[in-house]
Amino acid sequence: MPPKIRELIRELESAGFREKGGKGRHRKFRHTNGIIIIVSGISGDDAKQCQIKDVRWTIGKVSNEEE
């Protein structure tokens, strides 16, 4: 069973991303080093595979830059 959108958001926030607004069902998250990712959907919806991949890739990119 895929994770929910709210779980992806929780992963982003624990990696240092902060929500910077959005429009409609789109939420923009920005890290202190300037990386931006947009997550779309209602928090209770199942995340799509492409969303899961993008969020985890972005978190990996941030953690690699911090090392």
pLDDT one digit per residue (tens) for the chain, 67 residues = 899 999 999 999 999 999 999 999 999 999 999 999 999 999 999 999 999 999 999 999 998 887 7
pTM, two decimals, is: 0.91
What is the model's pLDDT at position 62?
92
What the chain holds in terms of domains, given with CATH numbers, is 5-66 (3.30.920.30)
What is the model's pLDDT at position 66?
74
Joined tokens for residue 15: 């990696």
Whole-angstrom Cα distance, residue 12 to residue 28? 11
